[in-house]
């Protein structure tokens, strides 16, 4: 889909996923690393626990379908080479702090002078301007300042960070979409533009209705372990089964109340509730709680009955029951269970990539979407440090072998 286009990927860990998405869509992505390789190559875990820049599994996770060259942008000669690469590219994505590239004559205006169609995508913590543009950042900081962190953790203590960093994954998805929108406009007007992506703004969208609820003085969602609190109502979403955990939705209204009724039918058949409990108006139950006609203590009693029912069965038994009776129950899967998922297997999700340098092949997570006419193809395993230096500098920029050796000795490539 993007095979006619070249992407220059200057990103740090903040932006790797954006380049990978564009590469998966067919673009020729050149990952530009400093001599010696990106610092992200030092991030564990490492294949076979051997710390090596070409064995970082973190690096593997976000850099397939890319070529790698090394280039020192702190030097005049390095910048000259980048200008030549920009002349033949459609996209440049970067995640430096605001002002960093401008100080090195590599800002959008500098680069657009070499290619008026260039789409320059910047991924930063808080955007290119504003009172916080220069603030230090981390995944924890972005989630805290964007709002979602408020909902993570137990209600009786401070919020906790999510174990797997998420903030820049949101930003990278938005950056890839922004790049494609700008490309569509460029195809119409013949002019590129600067796409400014703020990670804070990206994660703010992940607070769901809270952004609107505050301004409209409606009940905001609040933190609760394994669920959420809305007003005085505690809504469990993750429950303990006999052997692990499951998700179960116990809510009301026309869309969800029917599932709650089916669940209460099961509890009654198991002699875990009486007829009066089974036959409550589960469609209108939320309104009854809101009006006070049904006391919140009664709702909490029913939640306790459900918790006892779930704790008496394994997650496999509960999932089987859900399929049989049409309940909103799903097991909380381990990574091993995801890898063995018959659903993913049926969709041929996992894609094997050869690593010739290791004499091995590894299954990678599959495409983010399936396209009927132009399927995503994993053309390249993640590149080694500077693996494509000769290919790019000699064959494409027409530098001689002697020139390339000289650049390497001067630590420019």
Alpha carbon distance, N-terminus to C-terminus of the chain: 31
Q: Which of 134, 112, 116 is nearest to 124 (CA)?
A: 134
- Rounded Cα distance between 232 and 229, Å, is 7
Token pair 């779930």 is found at: 310
Output the CA torsion sign for 92, 98, 100, 105.
Answer: positive
Residue 95 C-beta-side C-alpha neighbours within 13 Å: 24
Burial of 136 (0-12, 13-18, 19+ CB in 10 A): exposed
Share of the chain above pLDDT 70, in %: 95
Tokens standing for 196?
A: 């400014």
For 366-392, write each residue's pLDDT tens digit. Answer: 999 999 999 999 999 999 999 999 999
pTM, entire model:
0.89
For 87-143, write each residue's pLDDT tens digit. Answer: 999 999 999 999 999 999 999 999 999 999 999 999 999 999 999 999 999 999 999
CATH 1.10.3720.10 for domain 6-205+345-409: no
Locate all alpha helices (DSSP H) within 104-256, ordered by sequence. 108-112, 139-146, 167-189, 199-204, 210-215
What is 248-275 written as a DSSP string? E----STTTHHHHHHHHHHHHHTTSS-H
For 25-42, write each residue's pLDDT tens digit. Answer: 999 999 999 999 999 999
The domains of the chain are located at: 6-205+345-409, 220-240+245-331
- Cα distances (angstroms) measured from residue 300 to each of 233, 289, 303: 9, 11, 5
- Rounded Cα distance between 375 and 368, Å, is 11
- Rounded Cα distance between 248 and 250, Å, is 6
pLDDT band at 336 (very low <50, low <70, confident <90, very high): very high
* Beta-bridge mates of residue 8: 30, 92
């Amino acid at each position: 889909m993007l095979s006619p286009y070249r992407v220059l990927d200057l990103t740090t860990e903040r932006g790797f996923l954006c380049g990978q998405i564009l590469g998966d869509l067919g673009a020729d992505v050149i990952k530009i690393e400093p001599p010696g390789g990106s610092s992200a190559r030092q991030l564990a875990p490492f294949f076979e626990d051997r710390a090596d820049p070409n064995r970082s599994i973190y690096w593997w996770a976000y850099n397939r379908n890319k070529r790698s060259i090394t280039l020192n942008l702190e030097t005049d000669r390095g910048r000259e080479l980048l200008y030549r690469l920009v002349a033949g590219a459609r996209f440049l994505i970067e995640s430096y702090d605001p002002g960093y590239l401008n100080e090195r004559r590599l800002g959008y205006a500098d680069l657009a002078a070499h290619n008026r169609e260039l789409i320059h995508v910047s991924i930063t913590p808080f955007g290119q301007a504003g009172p916080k543009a220069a603030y230090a950042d981390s995944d924890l900081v972005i989630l805290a300042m964007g709002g979602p962190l408020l909902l993570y953790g137990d209600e009786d203590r401070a919020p906790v960070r999510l174990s797997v960093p998420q903030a820049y994954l949101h930003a990278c998805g938005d950056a890839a979409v922004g790049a494609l929108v700008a490309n569509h406009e460029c195809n119409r007007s013949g002019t590129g533009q600067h796409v400014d992506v703020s990670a804070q703004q990206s994660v703010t969208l992940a607070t769901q209705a809270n952004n609107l609820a505050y301004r409209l003085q409606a009940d905001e969602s609040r933190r609760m372990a394994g669920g959420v609190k809305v007003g005085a109502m505690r809504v469990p979403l993750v429950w303990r089964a006999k052997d692990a955990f499951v998700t179960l939705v116990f809510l009301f209204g026309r869309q969800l109340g029917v599932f709650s009724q089916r669940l209460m039918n099961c509890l009654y058949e198991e002699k875990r509730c009486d007829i009066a409990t089974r036959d409550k108006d589960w469609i209108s139950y939320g309104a009854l709680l809101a009006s006070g006609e049904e006391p919140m203590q009664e709702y909490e009693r029913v939640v306790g009955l459900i918790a006892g029912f779930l704790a008496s069965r394994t997650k496999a038994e509960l999932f089987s029951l859900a399929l049989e009776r049409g309940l909103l129950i799903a097991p909380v899967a381990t990574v091993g269970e995801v890898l063995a998922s018959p659903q993913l297997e049926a969709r041929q999700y996992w894609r094997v990539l050869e690593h010739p340098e290791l004499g091995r092949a590894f299954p990678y997570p599959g495409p983010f979407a399936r396209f009927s006419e132009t399927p995503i193809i994993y053309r390249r395993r993640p590149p080694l440090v500077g693996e494509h230096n000769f290919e790019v500098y000699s064959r494409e920029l027409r530098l001689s072998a002697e020139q390339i050796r000289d650049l390497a000795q001067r630590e420019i490539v």
